[in-house]
Amino acid sequence: DAPLLEVADLRVAIGGERVVRPVAGIGFQLRAGETFALLGESGCGKSMTALAIARLLPDGGRIEGGSLRLRGEDLLAHTEARMRAVRGGRIGMVFQEPGTSLNPVMTVFEQIAEVLARHRGLRGAAARAEARRLLDAVGIPDAERRLDDYPFQFSGGMKQRVMIAMALAGEPELLIADEPTTALDVTIQAQVLDLLARLQRERGMGMLLITHDLGVVARMAQRVGVMYAGELVETGERSAFFAAPLHPYSRKLFAALPGGQQRGRALDALAGSVPALDAEIPGCRFSARCPQAFAPCTHESPGWHRRDGQAVRCHLYAEGHNAPVPAAHIAA
């Protein structure tokens, strides 16, 4: 059985004269019905990874290499027309800013109706009934009346629910949610996360969840991939990851959580900076910030090493080197 989504050695470049490579060879698999979290600080390439999967890179952006398969089907071989049918249909998307993809001069119904017509051939009364059902499903009270409201008439949290309803309208197999709650108030964040988790379960969707927040990973994901400077540095089951993060960067993420509780900002609190992504980077991309860096780290790029359910890209785990296994930080 092909995985729902298979990303292999994905490479993204942006720009002409000065080329930046925000995604430098990412690979992971997402199974149907599971939530895979891509975790990392801002600028690490996680949003570019999401946009590349939907083939929605900004102007000047291009996929330089690798492959993207949805149920075994090569997305990079699709024409733009075929891709438009996949996007909004088999792949639904929710972004950070509530309302970014809402049209301010169309009612919510008009916008959902467009998706229903394009991806499911629903029109007229059938579209109206389905749109109402979708607003109900995302917990918008008084759905029948709210369908005729404009985006500005919704609060931030309600707008994000509308976005989720639009993303679901095409009945996606894969939902890509990029920091879906980061812009929302803390109390609303929890409600929207619970909603996403419930919808994902009920619909059996796979979810690629992009986040900088360990709390969101703990709450939502079955598996996690940690990104640093355009690369994955650790992947594994959530429980194994929270019990014993292996990569020095992953451990820093946990250490940066005061009392293991703070959400949000934590990842920006690390010392040092991420390497510029417009030049060849020799060695480990984390070496300038890594407290455990040793001889090979500045000139040899580390390979992947396996430990039970986890995989880590770090020289400490190479054969013959005894990596200290850290104590548990927080329970998932």
- Select from 227, 302, 305, 311 the one that contacts ligand SF4 (CB under 6 A): 302
Residue 203 identity: R
What minimum distance in Å lies between the beta carbon of 314 and ligand SF4? 3
What minimum distance in Å lies between the beta carbon of 103 and ligand SF4? 45
Q: Is 47 in the site for Mg ion (CB under 5 A)?
A: yes
Question: Which residue's Cβ has the minimum distance to Mg ion?
Answer: 47
Contact yes or no for 36/30 (Cβ under 8 A): yes
Three-class SS state of 320? coil
Count residues binding ligand SF4 (CB under 6 A): 13
Applying CB under 5 A, the span of 8-16, 47-55, 164-172, 285-293 interacting with Mg ion comes to 47-55
Distances from the Cα of 239 to the Cα of 5, 104, 105, 316, angstroms: 22, 42, 45, 22
Distances from the Cα of 201 to the Cα of 35, 87, 124, 179, 240, angstroms: 10, 21, 29, 19, 22
Q: Which of Mg ion, ligand SF4, none is residue 47 near (CB under 5 to 8 Å by kind)?
A: Mg ion
- Select from 55, 159, 223, 315 the one that contacts ligand SF4 (CB under 6 A): 315
Applying CB under 6 A, the span of 7-15, 18-26, 205-213, 311-319 interacting with ligand SF4 comes to 311-319
3-state secondary structure 56-84: CCCCCEEEEEEEEEECCEEHHHCCHHHHH
What minimum distance in Å lies between the beta carbon of 209 and Mg ion? 12
The DSSP bridge pattern shows strands 61-70 and 73-74 to be antiparallel
Nearer to ligand SF4, 119 or 289 (CB): 289
In the window 267-296, what residues touch ligand SF4 (CB under 6 A)?
284, 286-287, 290, 292-293
Nearer to ligand SF4, 150 or 254 (CB): 254
- Sign, CA torsion 146/152/156/162: positive
- Cα distance between residue 176 and residue 53, in whole Å: 9
Q: Which of ligand SF4, Mg ion, none is residue 4 near (CB under 5 to 8 Å by kind)?
A: none
- Sign, CA torsion 222/223/224/230: negative
What minimum distance in Å lies between the beta carbon of 42 and Mg ion? 6
- Sign, CA torsion 310/315/316/318: positive
- Cα distance between residue 154 and residue 162, in whole Å: 9
What minimum distance in Å lies between the beta carbon of 287 and Mg ion? 24
Q: Which of ligand SF4, Mg ion, none is residue 205 near (CB under 5 to 8 Å by kind)?
A: none
Nearer to Mg ion, 47 or 181 (CB): 47
What minimum distance in Å lies between the beta carbon of 96 and Mg ion? 7
In the window 231-270, what residues touch ligand SF4 (CB under 6 A)?
247-248
For 190, half-sphere exposure in the C-beta direction (CA atoms, 13 angstrom radius) is: 3
- The contact set with Mg ion (CB under 5 A) reads 47
- The contact set with ligand SF4 (CB under 6 A) reads 247-248, 284, 286-287, 290, 292-293, 297, 302, 314-316
